[in-house]
Structure 1
């Protein structure tokens, strides 16, 4: 359990203890106070993750492999084309047509991903 989660657990335990001691008439105020503390923690974590991403660290950092634009553009084009292809296939051939259309979409995506992976042989997964 990380430090943020431990801190929230302590706050939650304190809120429950205060609720038992003060009674149900203070429940709304206690819950509101706890929610504010959770909101503060969430905002703090988001700010930390944004800073880490800006420094090129953490799970949300943009990879520096140079293929990000190509991968992002391919993903957008795939999604944009998938909508009308799905509609046409579903209308003309029903569920089977929809399966065939999505199998084609997935196949093209896998081929594209494999091509990008071959372009970076030094990448160890």
Structure 2
């Protein structure tokens, strides 16, 4: 949007002429109308600029064969071991709670749950395409 935009000059001239013709009582409505038109023009200009910038960024990523900026993709092997480590740490207080509340049976039930959660997580990564890909490497 150029400051010497001829359409903008025409709009301003028409608004000023309408003010002269209609008088001071319609001044606020005329100014509001002109400001709405200006706001629409600024919004469309900003939208075009943002679209152009995004298109440039997308083409630069394609040309450079880079991935977009974002969180790094984690290795499923490390995620699997991290989950197992977390469950082992969580097993300490869970074992104590199970043993105190239900005795030996509570301890066995707690550990069955921990083992079951780890098996379910392991099978989940086993049957995903990404998990099969890692095993082939």
User: TM (normalized to structure 1)?
Assistant: 0.44
- Report the TM-score, using the length of structure 2 for normalisation: 0.40
Point out which structure has higher relative CO (alpha carbons under 8 A, 6+ apart): 2
